[in-house]
Structure 1
Amino acid sequence: MAERDGAAVRVAVIGCGQIADAHLAQVRRAGAEVVAVCDATRHMAEQAAARWRVPAFYEGPDAVDAMLAEARPEVVHVTTPPASHLALATRALAAGAHVYVEKPVTVDAVEAVALEQAAARHGRLACAGHNLLFDPVIQRLRALVEAGALGEVVHADAVMGYDLAGPFGALLTAEPGHWIHRLPAGLAHNNLSHPLSLVLPLLGPGTPAVAHALGRRLRAERFGDARDAFHDELRILLEGPRATASVLFSCRIRPAQLALTVYGTRRAVHVSLDARTLRVVEGSHLPGPFQKVDWARRDASAAGAELLRRSADLALARLHYFEGMHRLFAAFYRAVRTGGPAPVPLADARAVAQVIDAAAAACRRADAAAQEACA
């Protein structure tokens, strides 16, 4: 694709639910023009257009095709429930638009392959919505890994907490028909893309093997329907050619947080996505009890440096919650303008989907075995 003039990229958003607000805000921060929004229901499309001053909104069964034909967006953001992602993204690609697809990009790996093929067939870019890869603290981590500062990666631990009493958690526990309950891995399915997108690149090329997956339901049964069925904890152990990783999704840990620790042959790194902090663990070579004091000193020094960084970010108004999303959008729009590759290719989404597929299948087998044992 040849580079075009300096006109803003024309963007449309399909799906006006909760995450659409984040997209609409960050699209504008990235310098693009929102030309239309679209939703299956009129009030959702209309309110989004009114609140964000979007010039056109579309609703109803034929809304997507009408929007693509009339608004003629260059890029379409798909922010609907995952079961509709493949069909909607494929329609946008066929109409000549590039697509950005929210996580989870597809329901399973089969659909991920189909979306890859559709993008290739129509000669358009498709970007996976793994926005945490572009969070400032993860970009710092990636720079350290790529520079060899950690040595060879040996293991990574990712922990993601989820509060069922939060706004979205309360919504899905109030609605037995919520689309979350139809995902193969339930609530975890909608969230695992975040930690998996962070650890998979650390394990080397290809999709790592799922060595073990364990799903548990530890909350009390309250409803007698789908709201009692999803696992509130899911543990996954991954095995790459020379490194391993563990991922924990839990509705019980407090504080609910997303944290990542990477262990290398030279150093380790602790990352908090919530605090946006990164602490390199150097260790100490001092003898005996002096080592413990030196280790604590190094930890305190690293923590103090991160406090100064965050304080400066606060003073300069740089602590945007969706900063990673903003940076990913900007990178994607540059690729659209210059003909470069998508900043997060669909191959990454396919690898994430393959891991979730395998973990969900392992949990189903374990559930079936437990039920059979109780019969």
Structure 2
Amino acid sequence: MAERDGTAVRVAVIGCGQIADAHLAQARRAGAEVVAVCDATRHMAEQAAARWRVPAFYEGPDAVDAMLAEARPEVVHVTTPPASHLPLATRALAAGAHVYVEKPVTVDAAEAVALEQAAARHGRLACAGHNLLFDPVIHRLRALVEAGALGEVVHADAVMGYDLGGPFGALLTGDPGHWIHRLPAGLAHNNLSHPLSLVLPLLGPGTPAVAHALGRRLRPERFGDARDAFHDELRILLEGARATASVLFSCRIRPAQLALTVYGTRRAVHASLDARTLRVVEGSHLPGPFQKVDWARRDASAAGAELLRRSADLALARLHYFEGMRQLFAAFYRAARTGGEAPVPLADARAVAQVIDAAAAACRRADVAAQEACA
């Protein structure tokens, strides 16, 4: 619940681009009162306010400060391009608001540290926008891990596909000046927070080492500018205190999907975030060829159970795409009202940023070496 004293948490959103629609919808579903939206351009702020029936909108160079002073939100969502996250979130914190920052939370780890320090200095909460941690299927997976059902975690494997032909892919391939092209790791940088936020908690304390990172450009060159520069595949191998992980971001795999497999000393578990299904792999103790039949039976049984779950969810209107976002918002609003801890602390965002920094640096070194070899 977003209420404690009978009033809903007052929320404002800075940045009225594509992802803002999800924030506005899920903030309302989480019980918040959206009091204002803000954007650098009038038409973006005005259309968001009109479509979502938000009572106030602010635009222009002084819009943020005016909104903070007049609308007085308790929680501010920052949904602008990543390069502006730190200054905007810091201004909201200084005005007394708690902040929720969309992923990637900052451009690099140094900015993540600066944001942590700003939140501590102003005594406000800052929550990282790692909403997939609260997706129902990941909640089920984490419960299995925490209960010891898998034994000790040995390895995690995350795969994220991306369709460049989709609506957002069309935006960045159609505009060489798009902010995506200014991120250190390009398109992958904007998306790696999702799989990394899922695997890092499984690897033990501390930030894992990037044992290897490989970026590849496999699409044909078409533009002769920044649109040809970003890697359309990025592979990262991580070594943590207790386990290892591999992460693949690819614009080539079909279907484009996000999946996580965790291997333990007793069992493995596979989660599909697109299907919102979970399959526990236990193996078989039957002899010879019967073992193969038993494995197939277990797979079919698990698939049937998940089909029944999803069918029930469909009948009860529970298959919301951003359900994890709603649950994270609700948890953050409760923490803001009760003085609790942020459900996804900035330390998690810092760890993700450190991995992306290291992977991006490794890819740049490899690119330079390849260019020198061709010279």
Fold equivalence (TM over 0.5): yes
- The answer to whether the 8 Å contact 2:2/2:333 transfers is no
Instruction: Describe the SS at the equivalent of 1:223.
Output: coil
Moved over 6 A (4+): none
Partner of 2:363: 363
Unaligned runs of at least 5 residues, structure 2: none
Deviation readout 1:209-260 (Å, 9 max, x if unpaired): 0000000000000000000000000000000122100000000000000001
Deviation readout 1:150-202 (Å, 9 max, x if unpaired): 00000000000000000000110000000000000000000000000000000
Alignment of 1:1-375 (within 5 A): 4-375=4-375
Instruction: Describe the SS at the equivalent of 2:347.
Output: helix
Distance 1:2 1:242 in 2: 37
- The answer to whether the 8 Å contact 1:186/1:231 transfers is yes
Deviation at 1:6, TM superposition (A): 2.1
Distance 2:70 2:242 in 1: 51
Deviation readout 1:250-302 (Å, 9 max, x if unpaired): 00000000001000000000100000000000100000000000011001100
Deviation at 1:5, TM superposition (A): 1.1
Deviation at 1:48, TM superposition (A): 0.2
- The answer to whether the 8 Å contact 1:237/1:244 transfers is yes
Deviation at 1:11, TM superposition (A): 0.2
Distance 1:277 1:6 in 2: 37
Distance 1:241 1:174 in 2: 42
Distance 1:3 1:132 in 2: 24
Deviation readout 1:25-46 (Å, 9 max, x if unpaired): 0000000000000000000000
Does 101-110 or 240-249 show the bigger shift?
A: 240-249
Deviation at 1:2, TM superposition (A): 14
Distance 1:79 1:240 in 2: 31
Distance 1:282 1:364 in 2: 41
Unaligned runs of at least 5 residues, structure 1: none
Give the share of equivalent positions with the same residue, in percent.
96
- The answer to whether the 8 Å contact 1:3/1:339 transfers is no
TM-score, structure 1 as length reference: 0.99
Q: In the superposition, relative to structure 1, how do residues 2 and 331 fare at CA in structure 2: closer, same or farther (>3 Å)?
A: closer
Q: How large is the RMSD of aligned CA atoms in angstroms?
A: 1.3
Distance 2:6 2:326 in 1: 19
- The answer to whether the 8 Å contact 2:2/2:31 transfers is no
- The answer to whether the 8 Å contact 1:2/1:339 transfers is no
Distance 2:58 2:91 in 1: 15
Q: In the superposition, relative to structure 1, how do residues 361 and 302 fare at CA in structure 2: closer, same or farther (>3 Å)?
A: same
Distance 1:40 1:25 in 2: 21
Distance 1:218 1:56 in 2: 46
Distance 2:288 2:10 in 1: 63
Deviation at 1:349, TM superposition (A): 0.2
Give the length in aligned residue pairs: 375
